[in-house]
């Protein structure tokens, strides 16, 4: 266990994982947060489970993963309500083009968007870390959705530029671990 001190220690953070190749980086983030003394609950879309299994996040967080709207992890209360009520903050990482669109129009047909729908943004910060191909990021619809989400009260962790898994180069890379942890610390303080 690390000896670092963090404002996040003892906080309850939800990590939403949507289906993009950057999912593998989220495993390292969950590990880092747990080492900082954070209680981490992971919420995954079905698409995310195709990149990284729930077992990976259960092993790293020591907690069950909410990966189905129809599954109850703890008791019989509506899981999305119960999870959202205990959160100090939520970070969606990676936040795909699809997830941005769902949140911008209010669709709740997966565990991540469903949990977010039960969070009062005026009380609990929800951070979005967009990660996608540079062309997808620059689509007018994506830019429009980012504007809408900022206006709605979501906090954006801007993507970085660099080499992408699709062999493109440009903006759209998931920010590094330090940037993501710093964004959570800023949101909590």
pLDDT digits (tens, 9 = 90+) for 20-75: 889 899 999 999 999 999 999 999 999 999 999 999 999 999 998 988 776 666 65
Q: What domains appear along the chain, each with residue ranges and CATH number? A: 12-188 (3.40.50.1950)
Question: Closest by alpha carbon to 113, among 132, 100, 125?
Answer: 100
Whole-prediction pTM = 0.90
For residue 1, what pLDDT is reported? 40
Answer for the pair 92, 127: CB distance below 8 angstroms, yes or no: yes
- Given a cut of 50, whether residue 155 has pLDDT beyond it is yes
Q: How long, in residues, is the chain?
A: 189
Decide if 95 is catalytic: no
Report which DSSP code applies to 25.
H
* DSSP β-bridge partners for residue 14: 41, 90
For residue 166, what pLDDT is reported? 62
């Amino acid at each position: 266990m690390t000896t670092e001190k963090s404002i996040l220690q003892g906080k309850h953070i939800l990590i939403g994982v949507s289906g993009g190749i950057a999912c593998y980086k989220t495993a390292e983030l969950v590990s880092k947060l747990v080492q900082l003394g954070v209680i981490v609950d992971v919420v995954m879309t079905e698409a995310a489970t195709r990149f990284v299994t729930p077992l990976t996040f259960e092993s790293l967080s020591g907690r069950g993963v909410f990966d189905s709207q129809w599954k109850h992890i703890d008791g019989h209360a509506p899981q999305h309500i119960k999870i959202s009520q205990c959160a100090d903050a939520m970070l969606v990482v990676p936040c795909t083009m699809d997830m941005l669109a769902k949140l911008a129009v209010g669709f709740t047909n997966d565990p991540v968007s469903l949990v977010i729908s039960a969070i009062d943004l005026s009380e609990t910060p929800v951070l979005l870390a967009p990660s996608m191909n540079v062309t997808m990021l620059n689509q007018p619809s994506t830019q429009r959705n980012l504007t809408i989400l900022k206006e709605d009260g979501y906090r954006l962790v801007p993507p970085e530029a660099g080499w992408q898994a699709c062999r493109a180069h440009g903006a759209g890379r998931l920010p590094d671990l330090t940037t993501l942890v710093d964004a959570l610390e800023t949101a909590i303080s």
